[in-house]
Amino acid sequence: MTPARVRLSAMMFLEFFIWGAWLPLIFAYLPSLGFDDGQKSWVLNAFPIGSLAAMFFSTQFADRNFAAEKFVAVSHLLGGLAILALAWTTSFWPFFALMLVHCLFYVPTISITNTIAFTHLKDAQKEFGRVRLWGTIGWIAASWPFVFILVDWSRVPEFGSVGFTEWLGKALGSGKEGAALLAGTRYTFMAAGMASLALAALSLTLPHTPPRRAGQGTNSLAWLDALKLLKVPFVLVLFVVTFFDAAVHQSYFNFANNYLKSIGIPGNWTMPVMSVGQMAEIGTMAVLGGVLKRFGWRTTMVFGILGHAIRFCVFAFMPLPVPAVLVILLHGVCYAFFFATVYIFVDEFFPKDARSSAQGLFNVLILGLGPAAANLVCPKLEKLFPGDNGVDFGKLFLVPAGVAFAAALFLFLFFRPPAKADVAAPSAS
């Protein structure tokens, strides 16, 4: 591996370590601060707001006015300080403001780090997947230290007083509970902040990526080009389905932490258990090309959506640790067979001058509108299905499962892309 590829891989590792550090546990943490459902939704929707700002302003502005590596460095410096401060913030308005600052600076870097990688890889088609893989590894790596960070050490024998195997088993099985667990969650913001500051420093060593001026294949209002793409029938169908699939995907993160604890998984294990899905994503991405070749675009995407439905049905009807952990492996299918396939489909079916607009259009759904809808609806759904432990997950999970089944059926019936990729070009212009 060349020195440049090592730095690009480290960039991806830290980029997704940051996001993976705070996202899984924040859904249960916010109510512990006394935030009501509306306040919780505002905090969670800071990320979708960041994605909308990136679509309409910040990514394009950065592309044209700043060297990419310098923009990433400044963004992660400011965004890192903001999320680091969340570890000591408990009031709503300061918390929301800091999260919003973090997301406004962080979200554009998701696209811009991709730009840096594509620009400096000799064979991007062959090498990008190997570099981007380190982003998934970074997300996984953010989870596992919390197995020990969230241990209730008062319940663990002093090291050396018992055999190592017994000590380790007791440590791994003695997670914090209740208020202590929620208080320990603040360390997720510290981990994210330190990783962000590390990436700010690393970015100064990345290969120079100069700004692209407005005459180099860019449009002053690229988002208008994106909206024009909805005139194409198969794009409109995929647009609608992507919105619902993104909402279902986000509902998993809204519910999973509390659900896993309710079926007996210790609090210090919920992040690592959820990271099993990212581990599966690595393997699923490896076979995606073969699946696309064998089954085609529509069927592969349907498989991805049905992965959500199956996972929620298993959660609903088999509320036990082993089935829950095993079915989380479907996260790889959900992500690779739908979201990754959507990105590949856009790159394949649209001409170069429309690809950025199309990718931006679907990014707004996947990172913005879909998650925002889920963050608003999920707290209300929990109240509709009260149970012995606060929520009747058996009934609750039938809602996102039903939405996923309906979206898969709609896609199967109405998604009819042309046989040749270049057919989309005239209609998309």
Coil, helix or strand at residue 151: strand
Whether 400 and 252 have beta carbons less than 8 Å apart is answered as yes
Average pLDDT of the chain, as a whole number: 85
- Tens of pLDDT, residues 205-239: 998 888 766 554 455 555 666 677 788 899 899 99
List the domains of the chain with CATH numbers: 1-150+185-210 (1.20.1250.20), 222-429 (1.20.1250.20)
Which is more confident, 140 or 406?
Answer: 406
Residue 207 is classified by DSSP as P
For residue 259, give the amino acid letter: Y
Whether 115 and 209 have beta carbons less than 8 Å apart is answered as yes
Cα(142)–Cα(16) distance, integer angstroms? 9
pLDDT for 223: 60
pLDDT for 213: 61
pLDDT mean over 101-105: 95
Inter-CA distances, 295 with 40, 288, 301, Å? 41, 10, 10
- Tens of pLDDT, residues 345-403: 877 777 665 666 677 778 888 988 999 999 999 999 999 999 877 899 999 999 999 99
* Pure H helices in 176-267: 178-184, 187-203, 222-228, 233-262
- Tens of pLDDT, residues 234-290: 989 999 999 999 999 999 999 999 999 999 998 888 888 888 888 888 888 878 888
Residue 229 is classified by DSSP as G
Q: What backbone phi and psi angles, to 5 degrees, belong to 175?
A: -75, 150
Please report which confidence band the pLDDT of residue 426 belongs to, taking 50, 70 and 90 as the band edges. very low
Look at the alpha carbons of 300, 304, 305, 307 in this order and tell me if their dihedral is positive or negative. Answer: positive
Whether 292 and 300 have beta carbons less than 8 Å apart is answered as yes
- Tens of pLDDT, residues 157-216: 887 777 777 777 776 677 677 777 777 889 999 999 999 999 999 999 998 888 766 554
- Say which residues have a Cβ less than 8 Å from residue 397's Cβ, sequence separation at least 6: 255, 312, 313, 315, 316
Percent of the residues in the chain that have a pLDDT greater than 70, as a whole number: 88
The answer, yes or no, to whether residue 82 has pLDDT greater than 90, is yes
Which residues make beta-bridge pairs with 175? 151
Please report which confidence band the pLDDT of residue 70 belongs to, taking 50, 70 and 90 as the band edges. very high
The answer, yes or no, to whether residue 28 has pLDDT greater than 80, is yes
pLDDT for 113: 87
Highest mean pLDDT among 20-34, 73-87, 122-136: 73-87
Q: Which two tokens stand for residue 88?
A: 């000591």
Q: Which two tokens stand for residue 70?
A: 């310098």
Please report which confidence band the pLDDT of residue 420 belongs to, taking 50, 70 and 90 as the band edges. low
Whether 248 and 308 have beta carbons less than 8 Å apart is answered as yes
Please report which confidence band the pLDDT of residue 77 belongs to, taking 50, 70 and 90 as the band edges. very high
Percent of the residues in the chain that have a pLDDT greater than 90, as a whole number: 47
- Tens of pLDDT, residues 296-307: 999 999 999 999
Which is more confident, 62 or 32?
Answer: 32
Please report which confidence band the pLDDT of residue 429 belongs to, taking 50, 70 and 90 as the band edges. very low
